[in-house]
Structure 1
């Protein structure tokens, strides 16, 4: 592959800094993780957004979370059609192989993917409607959420749809037979979160009210 380049200098320097400090101070722990494998307690499904740093928010150590990131923290419905499904594969591995005790879906404020879905479903982003748009076809997953907020005040729709991205993903998780089985057996629990980046707030989905409450 002729187009790959060496690692940018600033990243190489950061690696050497980590190796000389964090790794050196915890080398035995890293060796243990390597030899014993991973045993995360929770899977976190979050957005690709660079501002969402799950391990920092929860102060998680290496090996604690099994993390999957995608545009708008979405989980598609269970669809074993022989195609490539990265998110579904991650969920399957976390639940059936790693036996995680929790699956957490975490949305956030100012989500570009959600904004794209809002524009697309409102007819303001025709390029996302094209079959060739990977983002558009991925955001089709969120169309049921859009239907639930489309009649709300315009200035509230984006924030509401960000939370709907979490709810839709929780709903879709329950369409996976192995997820439903684990949840109904009490072996695993599902959680929905929404993070406000600027203010640092965190809200949790409450199924009793269908809304989000502060953590």
Structure 2
């Protein structure tokens, strides 16, 4: 905790002082981000650091394995869906990015199953991507590939699953069809520092940075 307090003191004395006008504007006029980013809660993947954004530029949702549940209104708690709704319908962002990453613990739990034993929430949450898991394991097995190959494939496949689930929200589909909203799927390699983009035409990831 001392490390966090020291960090805040440094932020207050440097970044905040250097950008006081920005914070005053944000406090008075509210947020007007152009992009929504749905990323993983993994502490190694910091969207603001990766993309060099300032406060107010990007609306960020983080959860286990950057998953978007399909649209439905019968459940009790919809934290991710509520945040998506706020970003799309209230803030009217123009872009929505799903950001996956290498070494995702949620995907590891999904692929290996036993990694999620004893958890109350991880396994049922990861069931959102169960079809991706089954597909990736089958493809890896038929190609004679390792479990690590299946895991990386599934990390990318969960991005595609989340993009497909976004389109089940009627007000997202409407905005996409009207070209008021553009969806993007990205995958970040933590070790190599590379960024990959999903090409929806070929259903493959291509390196962009």
Q: Check if 1:138 corresponds to 2:125.
A: yes
Q: Check if 1:49 corresponds to 2:42.
A: yes
Whether the 8 Å contact between 2:116 and 2:122 is mirrored in structure 1 is no
3-state SS of 2:154 partner: helix
3-state SS of 2:98 partner: strand
Q: Which residue number in structure 2 is paired with residue 94 of structure 1?
A: 87
User: What is the CA–CA distance in structure 2 between the aligned matches of 1:9 and 1:194, rounded to whole Å?
Assistant: 33
CA deviation string 1:22-77 (max 9, x = no partner) = 10111111000010000000000000000001111111111100000000000000
Q: Which residue number in structure 2 is paired with residue 4 of structure 1?
A: none
Give the TM-score, by structure 2 length.
Answer: 0.93
Residue 107 of structure 2: which of 114, 125, 136 is its match? 114
Number of residue equivalences: 202
Residue 39 of structure 1: which of 32, 56, 70 is its match? 32
Describe how 1:1-215 pairs up with structure 2 within 5 A: 8-120=1-113, 124-125=114-115, 127=117, 133-151=120-138, 152=140, 153-154=145-146, 155-215=148-208
CA deviation string 1:157-176 (max 9, x = no partner) = 00000001100000100000
User: What is the CA–CA distance in structure 2 between the aligned matches of 1:186 and 1:195, rounded to whole Å?
Assistant: 26
Residues 34 and 126 from structure 1, CA distance in 2 versus in 1: closer, same or farther, beyond 3 angstroms?
Answer: closer
Unaligned 5+ residue runs, structure 2? none
CA deviation string 1:98-151 (max 9, x = no partner) = 00000000000000000000012xxx45726xxx62000000001011122112
Unaligned 5+ residue runs, structure 1? 1-7
